[in-house]
């Protein structure tokens, strides 16, 4: 077990990062019914902000957080505005629109920040290995794991205990009834996409030292979080968390143990789960 401690911890960090990104995707998919192919680009916005603003000092951390989250929330809101004319349930047009925005947004980011993968500087105090049961481990990743766990718990409480979360769950179960109760569906949709953007941006800023900003970031993050969303059951916070951790571990321990088959494992698992649940999907997956 000992030689796998570090990959296992890396897997947890990776999985929690994917969870925060995928939670945004689950929201937009489950509540607004939108398959947002530009979600990875929202993450990339946050990651580029971190690379741009972070200079190794503590003061830059809140600055990058605010800048990244505001920028990606704004992008998410703009996305909701652009999607307004598209009918709910018209998934093909939504997919074309969001993929087009992802292409254009990715191109704009590359022309603004250059075509190279950018390095991200974390505060000097965290930019060193610490001793963990005899193994050196990057301090930033430990801090990231704690912060991401806090975000996960906060998200769970927000969905299960607050009025907004109740509304979100209701909108997943029966959007028509929610509309009948006097809640404007457009506001729900814009709100959900803004929160989804904020989560992606937050993940981008915090996760930039793990999945750094570069031209391929958006695609990587989108595909991995899509796998997480699908494995996790599409509208359950707990399921998404479990799936994200599983994907994280497959990507780290799996690659260490079975270097040749790990990459297939991920997509094969996704395809099989989808096929097994396809009939159930049409009724509804699990509720939160």
- Site residues (vs other proteins, CB under 8 A): 33, 35, 37, 82, 85-97, 99-108, 110-111, 115, 173-176, 219, 223, 226-227, 230, 260, 263-264, 267-268, 270-272, 274-275, 278-279, 281-284
Cα(117)–Cα(264) distance, rounded to whole angstroms? Answer: 26
Cα(35)–Cα(135) distance, rounded to whole angstroms? Answer: 41
Minimum CB separation of residue 174 from other proteins in Å reads: 5
Minimum CB separation of residue 84 from other proteins in Å reads: 11
8 vs 103 by CB, closer to other proteins: 103
116 vs 127 by CB, closer to other proteins: 116
187 vs 284 by CB, closer to other proteins: 284
Question: Any idea which residue has 């990339």 for tokens?
Answer: 44
Distances (CA, A) of 73 to 13, 96, 163, 204: 24, 21, 21, 12
39 vs 141 by CB, closer to other proteins: 39
Minimum CB separation of residue 141 from other proteins in Å reads: 26
Q: How far, in whole angstroms, is CA 150 from its chain's centroid?
A: 15
Minimum CB separation of residue 8 from other proteins in Å reads: 23
143 vs 170 by CB, closer to other proteins: 170
| Angle value at C-alpha 238, between 232 and 239, nearest 5 degrees | 15
Minimum CB separation of residue 279 from other proteins in Å reads: 6
3-state secondary structure 157-216: HHHHHCHHHHHHHHHHHCHHHHHHCCCCHHHHHHHHHHHHHHHHHHHHHHHCCCCCCCCC
In sequence order, what E strands does the chain have? 129-132, 135-138
1 vs 180 by CB, closer to other proteins: 180
Minimum CB separation of residue 142 from other proteins in Å reads: 31
């Amino acid at each position: 077990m000992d030689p796998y401690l570090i990959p296992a911890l890396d897997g947890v960090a990776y999985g929690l990062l994917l969870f925060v990104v995928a939670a945004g995707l689950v929201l937009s998919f489950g509540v607004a019914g939108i398959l947002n192919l530009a979600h990875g680009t929202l993450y990339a916005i946050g990651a580029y902000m971190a690379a741009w603003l972070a200079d190794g000092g503590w003061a830059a951390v809140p600055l990058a957080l605010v800048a990244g989250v505001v920028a990606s929330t704004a992008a998410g809101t703009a996305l909701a505005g652009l999607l307004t004319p598209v009918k709910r349930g018209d998934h093909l047009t939504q997919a074309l629109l969001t993929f087009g925005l992802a292409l254009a947004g990715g191109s704009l980011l590359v022309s603004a920040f250059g075509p190279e993968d950018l390095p991200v500087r974390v505060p000097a105090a965290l930019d060193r290995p610490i001793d963990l049961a005899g193994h050196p481990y990057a301090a930033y990743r430990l801090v990231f794991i704690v912060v991401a766990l806090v975000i996960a718990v906060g998200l769970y409480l927000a969905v299960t205990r607050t009025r907004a979360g109740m509304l979100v769950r209701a909108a997943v179960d029966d959007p028509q009834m929610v509309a009948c109760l006097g809640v404007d569906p457009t506001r729900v949709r814009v709100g959900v996409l803004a929160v989804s953007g904020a989560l992606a941006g937050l993940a981008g800023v915090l996760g930039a030292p793990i999945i750094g900003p570069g031209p391929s970031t958006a695609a990587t993050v989108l595909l991995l979080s899509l796998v997480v969303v699908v494995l996790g059951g599409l509208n359950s916070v707990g399921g998404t968390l479990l799936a994200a951790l599983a994907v994280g571990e497959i990507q780290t321990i799996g690659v260490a143990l079975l270097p040749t088959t790990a990459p297939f494992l991920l997509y094969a698992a996704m395809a099989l789960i989808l096929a097994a649940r396809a009939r159930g999907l049409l009724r509804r997956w699990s509720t939160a």
